[in-house]
Structure 1
Amino acid sequence: MSNPPLPGNFAGAMDLSALVNRAKAAQAPASPAAPTTPAGASSYVRDINESEMGQIVELSNTVPVILEIYGQGVTPQLGGLIEKYQGKLLLATLNADHAPQLVQALQIQGIPTVFAVIQGRPAPLFQGQAQEAEITPVLDEVLKVAAQVGVTGVLPAPENSDHDTPEAPTEPPLSPEHQRAFDALSANDWDGAEAAYRDALAKAPADTDAQAGLAQVGLLKRLGNQSADTIRAEAAKDPGNLDAQLLVADLDVSGGHLDDAFTRLLGIFTTLDTDGRETLRTRMLDYFAIAGPTHPSVIAARQRLTSLLY
């Protein structure tokens, strides 16, 4: 199996809640029924579809979620192992063939692929088939990282009827602008979502959720349906092309690799003219909004950018 190091801080990863809008996914009247438990599985394992991802994202604030992307003739493999954790982990299995939007957003390159989702943010764990002895240390590390951010819930045992499955915390209703953004995102209408977030910011310029949502929608629009290999090949072929370098940085941010994106862009800053520097600065501000101002990588990159500007 191929497994990148598990990040100690999930804040650098794309926030899935901005795509599925976790509050409305749990509250909208037209939302689908709760994720089902497939036959032969327990309450620790749920087979979901793309429209149900919002509920799983919300549960990731309570218990760490392992997201197993399968399909193309490959079936889920982690159910038995997750059972051994006795509710400390929730396994959500998702058929990639039926989830094109998430496959694109997560930049999935092969099947099966496994992610951890903690507080709405995914981080890749490994790709390909693996033995239990290889997977167990990875899952143990997920629990350690989750504990560091206070995600320590435990799902009830299947036979325990005295307790309910942890429910998503109730959040206030969305503003009309955020509701419009949610509806547009649900329809894959990036332009509509972008317009709604801009309207929200016109009313409340300090709305950090709208700032992050606008930045993430812009990133998704720029990436479009382009493959990661094509994006990287174009940038490697023309290192002096700012647009190509910015697109690779978009790709890195979408996969949670903030440091790679910041290193790439800050490394070419001094080679750019005034207009190019302003374009780069604006893009980095978008990345700062996506990751959040307290992320260590954002703090370091902001300091370096400031020193280059002044």
Structure 2
Amino acid sequence: MSTPNNPAQRPGGPAAPDRFASRAVDLGALKEASEQRQRAAERTREEAASGQKIPRSAVVTAESFEQDLVVRSTQVAVILLLGSPRAEGCDEMSAEFTRLAEAQDENGQPVQWVFREVNVDTTPEIAQALQVQQVPTVLALAAGRPLTNFEGVQPAEQIGQFVDAVVRTVEGRLPGLPESDGDAGNGDGDAAGTASTDGASDADPRFDAAAELLEEGDYRGAVSVYDRIISESASDEENGAETAAEARSARVTALLLERTADGNADEIDELLLAGEREQAFDTLIEQIRTTAGDERTAARDRLLEIFAMYDAGDPGVIDARTRMASALF
């Protein structure tokens, strides 16, 4: 039995899974992030106008894939179970995820995640698109991208821990379901209004400007915008730290897109784009430790180049610098 890639076990929360994220990252899709947000906003307005409650658990089809997974994950976390009635334990896991998802309406708090399920027998194209290799597979999504995953049957206790860790990771980072989703899902009016307002204010014009530059392929211009956001955030005592952190993360993505604009992303680029920074560090440090000559020098120079992309005080960078020094000397 596989053990969940439990986000709670990692200091930094869930990381993108090696297999899903590193192979599924598409540079073209990243450049279309701005367009995706616009589509998501339009769908959200349509849902708000309809006044219908969004299901806390549902089966995904090829027709509902974009709305129920990609768009929905820009609002709240989506936990997806890819299973089959023929596979032992899938029905039990589905029932537990469904119970937990629907229980959110009972505590009067905003809904923070939804459960979606794919039957790989009837919709194999979705399983193929996600490169599923084992049934059941559970994948958590946020902002249209993978957060973490696990394979194999897990007991109810582990499922609950997995859900809790995903919720903690996305808390405060997604706008929430449309305000009209229902009094049942979003608690009192103030809570619902807060979620909606935060989602609207998420469209910080500075970030929108950077996103437009990314879409146009002006990566250097986007980096300049993010640099300005980081600088201006220093005077914002209330939200400055969070805004700066978001800008630093986006800045790294812009630099990576600039580097890989020709479509020739190597293993290290893919790891970084997938959010697997520590694994990228480990890979290069191991190359320094086990190679010599030009190959060793290239690994060192690449590592220094990556360090320069991040804040010098980043604990992960400081740790990697220390390990690089040990490998070199």
- Give the TM bin, normalised by the shorter chain: 0.5 to 0.7
> 1:97 is matched with which residue: 117, 121, 125?
125
Q: Does 1:298 pair with 2:308? A: no
Cα deviation per residue 1:232-262 (whole Å; 9 max; x = unaligned)?
xxxxxxxxxxxxxx73x55655665443332
Unaligned runs of 5+ in 1: 184-194, 224-245
Q: Does 1:33 pair with 2:43? A: yes
Q: Do 1:45 and 1:92's aligned partners in 2 also have CA atoms closer than 8 Å? A: yes
Instruction: Give the drift of 1:281.
Output: 3.0
Give the structure 2 partner of residue 196 of structure 1. Answer: 218
Give the structure 2 partner of residue 140 of structure 1. Answer: 164
- C-alpha distance in structure 2 between counterparts of 1:287 and 1:94, whole Å: 40
- C-alpha distance in structure 1 between counterparts of 2:176 and 2:222, whole Å: 37
> 2:281 is matched with which residue: 251, 255, 262?
262
Q: Does 1:4 pair with 2:26? A: no
- C-alpha distance in structure 2 between counterparts of 1:45 and 1:257, whole Å: 29
- Matched position secondary structure for 1:170: coil
Residues 1-310 of structure 1 aligned to structure 2 (within 5 Å) = 2=2, 3-6=4-7, 7-10=10-13, 13=16, 19=30, 24-27=35-38, 33-34=43-44, 42-45=54-57, 49-50=65-66, 55-60=71-76, 65-68=77-80, 70=82, 77=94, 78-86=97-105, 87-91=110-114, 93=116, 97-98=125-126, 103=130, 109-117=133-141, 122-143=146-167, 145-146=168-169, 156-158=183-185, 163=192, 166-167=195-196, 168=199, 169-172=202-205, 178-179=211-212, 181-182=214-215, 195-198=217-220, 200-201=222-223, 206=227, 208=248, 209-215=250-256, 218=260, 221-222=263-264, 247=267, 249=268, 253=272, 256-270=275-289, 271-274=291-294, 276-282=296-302, 285-286=305-306, 289=309, 296-305=315-324
Amino acid in the other structure paired with 2:218: A
- C-alpha distance in structure 2 between counterparts of 1:154 and 1:204, whole Å: 27
Instruction: Give the drift of 1:301.
Output: 0.9
- Matched position secondary structure for 1:70: strand
> TM-score, structure 1 length as denominator?
0.57
Instruction: Give the drift of 1:220.
Output: 11
RMSD: 5.1
Amino acid in the other structure paired with 1:157: A
- C-alpha distance in structure 2 between counterparts of 1:52 and 1:153, whole Å: 16
Give the structure 2 partner of residue 189 of structure 1. Answer: none
Q: Do 1:69 and 1:112's aligned partners in 2 also have CA atoms closer than 8 Å? A: yes
Instruction: Give the drift of 1:280.
Output: 4.8
- Matched position secondary structure for 2:184: coil
Q: Say which one has the larger Rg.
A: 2
Q: Do 1:50 and 1:94's aligned partners in 2 also have CA atoms closer than 8 Å? A: no
Q: Do 1:112 and 1:129's aligned partners in 2 also have CA atoms closer than 8 Å? A: yes
Amino acid in the other structure paired with 1:197: Y
Cα deviation per residue 1:115-154 (whole Å; 9 max; x = unaligned)?
44568874324223444344123223444x449x756998
- Matched position secondary structure for 1:4: coil
Give the structure 1 partner of residue 244 of structure 2. Answer: none
Give the structure 1 partner of residue 121 of structure 2. Answer: none
- Matched position secondary structure for 2:116: strand
Change (3 A) 1:125 1:84: farther
Change (3 A) 1:19 1:53: farther
Instruction: Give the drift of 1:266.
Output: 0.7
- C-alpha distance in structure 2 between counterparts of 1:130 and 1:79, whole Å: 15
Q: Do 1:215 and 1:286's aligned partners in 2 also have CA atoms closer than 8 Å? A: no
- Matched position secondary structure for 1:91: strand
- C-alpha distance in structure 2 between counterparts of 1:179 and 1:98, whole Å: 30
Instruction: Give the drift of 1:295.
Output: 5.2
> TM-score, structure 2 length as denominator?
0.54
Instruction: Give the drift of 1:282.
Output: 2.5
Cα deviation per residue 1:288-307 (whole Å; 9 max; x = unaligned)?
74x87665333311343367
Q: Larger % of helix: which?
A: 2
Change (3 A) 1:33 1:214: same
- C-alpha distance in structure 2 between counterparts of 1:132 and 1:219, whole Å: 44
